[in-house]
């Protein structure tokens, strides 16, 4: 139980002369909600991109459930059970809410294209079952009334939620959320917090999230890593982070000034 589901071993990412992430080592245990915070440009999204295979770390190794996944392709890593959302929402613009979620099921389809074109039962049954599964999922997260709406017509908060649902539809064990509360007002943020905690419990998943809203981070994260211009500044539980001199100096103070 205490074996980490995700572990990075001194991973670094360099873009030309810029070191976006430097020797980051994090561990996430199964069932945890872990926060990754730091000022803009600290390298947080880059960490997600390395974990999900969008970038290959220039140094270091990444382990998922004890197996090395460094340098695997994104689709491969998704199929292993790691799903993510994006800082700037990336929905499939031409599709409805349901179609967006069903994309996540495509790779699990147990039939060939020829069967689909000919309309053979293995395909149609499979696809129908997937559709029902997705509708069920959308019901569970209170999006059933917008199932056939174009995804981009949803209000911002619901688009964020849809992105999370779409990630959930890949049947992940580890969910990476990149600033899920960005652009939300305090009420929406609280709702989102409850939502994240709920899906963690209901879907038995582990969550690693990047977030700027401190009340969200401090409210639901059990442990927090603080990045600062590529370097790991601190780690600990919310209380330890809030009382950490270095963090207050480099980051929390600034946020309070902003607020």
Ligand X SMILES: Nc1ncnc2c1ncn2[C@@H]1O[C@H](COP(=O)(O)OP(=O)(O)O)[C@@H](O)[C@H]1O
Q: Which residues bind another protein (CB under 8 A)?
A: 52, 54, 73-75, 78-79, 83-84, 86, 90-95, 99, 102-107, 109, 113, 116-117, 119, 123, 127, 130, 166-167, 170
Of 95 and 231, which CB lies nearer to another protein in the complex structure?
95
Sequence-ordered list of residues with C-beta below 8 angstroms from that of 17, at least 6 positions apart, any chain: none
* 167 sits in which H/E element: helix 156-168
Min dist. Cβ of residue 214 to ligand X (A) = 15
7 binds, options Mg ion, another protein, ligand X, none, Cβ within 5 to 8 A by partner type: none
What count of Cα atoms within 13 Å lies in the side-chain half-sphere of residue 226?
Answer: 23
Does 8 engage in binding with ligand X (CB under 6 A)?
Answer: no
Q: Quick one: 8 exposed, middle or buried, by C-beta within 10 A (0-12, 13-18, 19+)?
A: buried
What are the DSSP calls for 36-94, one per residue? EE-STTSSHHHHHHHHTTSS--SEEEEEETTEE-TT--HHHHHHHTEEE--SS----TT
Among 38, 60, 172, 219, which residue interacts with ligand X (rule: CB under 6 A)?
A: 38
Does 20 engage in binding with ligand X (CB under 6 A)?
Answer: yes
Rg of the chain taking only CA atoms, in angstroms? 19
79 binds, options Mg ion, another protein, ligand X, none, Cβ within 5 to 8 A by partner type: another protein
Among 4, 30, 31, 41, which residue interacts with ligand X (rule: CB under 6 A)?
A: 41
Sequence-ordered list of residues with C-beta below 8 angstroms from that of 146, at least 6 positions apart, any chain: 97, 154, 158
41 binds, options ligand X, Mg ion, another protein, none, Cβ within 5 to 8 A by partner type: ligand X
Report how many helices (DSSP H) and strands (DSSP E) the chain contains, helices first. 11, 11
Phi-psi region at 85: left, alpha or beta (left = phi > 0; alpha = psi -120 to 50): beta
Does 42 engage in binding with ligand X (CB under 6 A)?
Answer: yes
Q: Hey, which residues does 206 pair with through a beta bridge? A: 174
42 binds, options ligand X, another protein, Mg ion, none, Cβ within 5 to 8 A by partner type: ligand X
Does 79 engage in binding with Mg ion (CB under 5 A)?
Answer: no
Binding residues with ligand X: total (CB under 6 A): 11
38 binds, options Mg ion, ligand X, another protein, none, Cβ within 5 to 8 A by partner type: ligand X
| Contacts (CB under 5 A) with Mg ion, residues 27-46 | 45
158 binds, options ligand X, another protein, Mg ion, none, Cβ within 5 to 8 A by partner type: none
* 196 sits in which H/E element: helix 186-203
Of 45 and 244, which CB lies nearer to Mg ion in the complex structure?
45
Does 156 engage in binding with ligand X (CB under 6 A)?
Answer: no
Binding interface with Mg ion (CB under 5 A): 45, 87
């Amino acid at each position: 139980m205490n074996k980490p589901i995700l572990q990075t071993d001194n991973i670094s990412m360099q873009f030309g002369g810029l070191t976006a992430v430097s020797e980051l080592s994090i561990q996430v245990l199964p069932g945890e909600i872990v926060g990754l915070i730091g000022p803009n440009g600290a390298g947080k999204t880059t960490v997600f991109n390395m974990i999900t295979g969008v970038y290959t770390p220039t140094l270091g190794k990444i382990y998922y459930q004890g197996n090395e996944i460094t340098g695997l392709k994104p689709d491969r890593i998704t199929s292993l059970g790691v799903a993510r959302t994006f800082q700037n929402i990336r929905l499939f613009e031409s599709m409805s809410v349901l179609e967006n979620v069903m994309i996540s099921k495509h790779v699990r389809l147990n039939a060939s294209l020829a069967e689909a074109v000919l309309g053979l039962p293995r395909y149609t049954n499979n696809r129908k079952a997937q559709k029902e599964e997705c509708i069920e999922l959308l019901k569970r997260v209170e999006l059933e009334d917008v199932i056939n709406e174009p995804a981009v017509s949803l209000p911002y908060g619901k688009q964020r939620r849809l992105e999370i649902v779409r990630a959930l539809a890949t049947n992940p064990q580890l969910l990476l959320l990149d600033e899920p509360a960005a652009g939300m007002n305090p009420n929406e943020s609280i709702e989102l917090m409850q939502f994240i905690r709920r899906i963690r419990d209901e879907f038995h998943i582990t969550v690693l999230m990047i977030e700027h809203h401190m009340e969200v981070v401090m409210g639901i994260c059990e442990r927090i890593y603080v990045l600062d211009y590529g370097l790991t500044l601190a780690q600990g539980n919310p209380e330890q982070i809030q009382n950490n001199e270095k963090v207050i100096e480099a980051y929390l103070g600034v946020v309070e000034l902003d607020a």
